Amino acid sequence: MNDDLVFSGVQPTGNLHLGNYLGAIKNWVDFQTSKKCIFCIVDLHAITSSENRKELSENTKQVAAAYIASGIDPKKSTVFVQSNIEGHSELAWILSCHTPIGWLNRMTQFKDKAGKNKEKAPLGLYSYPVLMAADILLYKSNYVPVGDDQKQHLELCRDIAQSFNRFYDTNFFPLPEPIITGTATRVMSLKDGKKKMSKSDPSDQSRINMTDTADIIQKKIQRARTDSLPFPEDDTELKDRPEVENLINIYLSISGEKKQNIFKEFSGRDFKGFKEALSETVVSRMSKISNEMNKLLSDKDYLNAILLDGFNKAKEISETNMREIKKIIKFYSK
Ligand code: TRP
């Protein structure tokens, strides 16, 4: 049995930004040296929201290109599209029968996304965490690197796995562990440090898109909100300064620099120097990635071949596991 499997995914929502990169994709790259990895483009999740239902296939290729450009090696890792593999929806149904409604009612992301108009929210948005559990458990995954905002969904996934295992008196599903690493697992808006960086923020100034040019990145960082206090000396001076903390986290995450060194270098000064250093760091990393993404997107055959290969690898594991799951449930077998 493989007990070293990493699984994660990003939704093809269009307009990938720094939050997707630092909060997710960047942290996946290093796992490839020590573990078997499966990275999925979760398009079934994307259609839970009406604004994501357009240009699905282009956006799917964009995420695939972002994975590869960021350092996911398709020879080592399995990269595939969720909707290509039937097992995700099928297992989601089975797991939904092991998920009390009360558990779903606690999910804060649903409450945030559905807003006031809960009665009009689609059922799929509500049951989305069950589909996420199915993604993870279909491959019997052990580790799931995710951003901080997905922690609650991971806990639910473990509860569902346990509920299934207990009912059928089996230990078929492992209990996957969330891995929340990195200094910027939650990248915030450049305009409001209390809001997550998001592609649906009406202001483009609030985020750095993975396809922004160097010039645009520089301007956005220059105009990013800070405050009138000088650059902090230590962590205590970061209290109640979410915008400053966010910029520092972005810098640390990309540069790999130690926090103490940043405090030493910039403390007491205004933000001009720090913002220049930050711009340089972000531009040098992101422009490499966006160039590579553009190259990949102009060679569709190459990307398609990667996704086909990933599909074949994912199909084999998912079909084996689905057969086992059906045996455990004792469904009639033709
Ligand atoms: N829900 C995750 C997000 O919005 C995406 C996701 C779907 C995922 N299925 C997953 C992440 C399985 C990790 C594992 O970011």
Chain centre to alpha carbon of residue 147: 6
| Whole-angstrom distance, CA of residue 240 vs CA of residue 219 | 25
Same domain (yes/no): 176, 233: no
Across the strands, what pairs with 144?
Answer: 178
- Residue among 10, 37, 42, 49 whose CB has most ligand 1 atoms within 8 A, to mutate: 42
| Whole-angstrom distance, CA of residue 42 vs CA of residue 79 | 11
Same domain (yes/no): 325, 224: no
Structural domain includes residue 219 = yes
Q: Which of 36, 61, 199, 275 is catalytic?
A: 199
Same domain (yes/no): 126, 42: yes
| Whole-angstrom distance, CA of residue 262 vs CA of residue 326 | 55
Structural domain includes residue 199 = no
Structural domain includes residue 334 = no
Number of domains in the chain: 2
Is the pLDDT assigned to residue 2 strictly greater than 70? no
Q: What is the CATH number of the domain that holds 82?
A: 3.40.50.620
Average pLDDT, the chain: 95
The whole domain housing 66 covers 5-185+299-329
Same domain (yes/no): 237, 139: no
Structural domain includes residue 86 = yes
Same domain (yes/no): 245, 117: no
Q: What is the CATH number of the domain that holds 266?
A: 1.10.240.10
- Residue 131 CB neighbours (<10 A): 21
Phi first, then psi: give them for residue 189, nearest 5 degrees: -60, 145
Residue 312's SS3 state is helix
Same domain (yes/no): 249, 309: no
Same domain (yes/no): 248, 116: no
Same domain (yes/no): 79, 98: yes
Structural domain includes residue 190 = no
199 is catalytic: yes
Single out the residue of 250, 306, 303, 298 nearest to residue 274, CA to CA. Answer: 250
Report the separation in Å between the CA atom of 241 and the middle of ligand 1, taken as the mean of its atom positions.
Answer: 29
Structural domain includes residue 271 = yes
Report the separation in Å between the CA atom of 145 and the middle of ligand 1, taken as the mean of its atom positions.
Answer: 9
Name the DSSP class of 169: T
Q: Which of 61, 196, 220, 275 is catalytic?
A: 196
**Protein residues with CB under 6 Å of any ligand 1 atom:** 7-9, 11, 42, 45, 132, 135-136, 144, 146, 150
Q: What is the pLDDT of residues 315-325, one digit of tens each?
A: 999 999 999 99
| Whole-angstrom distance, CA of residue 316 vs CA of residue 322 | 10
Report the separation in Å between the CA atom of 267 and the middle of ligand 1, taken as the mean of its atom positions.
Answer: 38
| Whole-angstrom distance, CA of residue 243 vs CA of residue 193 | 4
| Whole-angstrom distance, CA of residue 138 vs CA of residue 176 | 12
pLDDT of residue 51: 87
Structural domain includes residue 214 = yes
Is the pLDDT assigned to residue 92 strictly greater than 80? yes
- pLDDT band with cut points at 50, 70 and 90 for residue 291: very high
The arithmetic mean of pLDDT across residues 166-175, rounded, is 98
Same domain (yes/no): 62, 108: yes
| Whole-angstrom distance, CA of residue 228 vs CA of residue 68 | 40
Task: Say which residue the tokens 């979760």 belong to.
Answer: 42
Same domain (yes/no): 169, 271: no
The arithmetic mean of pLDDT across residues 148-159, rounded, is 94
Same domain (yes/no): 49, 164: yes
Residue 334's SS3 state is coil
Structural domain includes residue 221 = yes
Same domain (yes/no): 174, 216: no
Is the pLDDT assigned to residue 1 strictly greater than 60? no
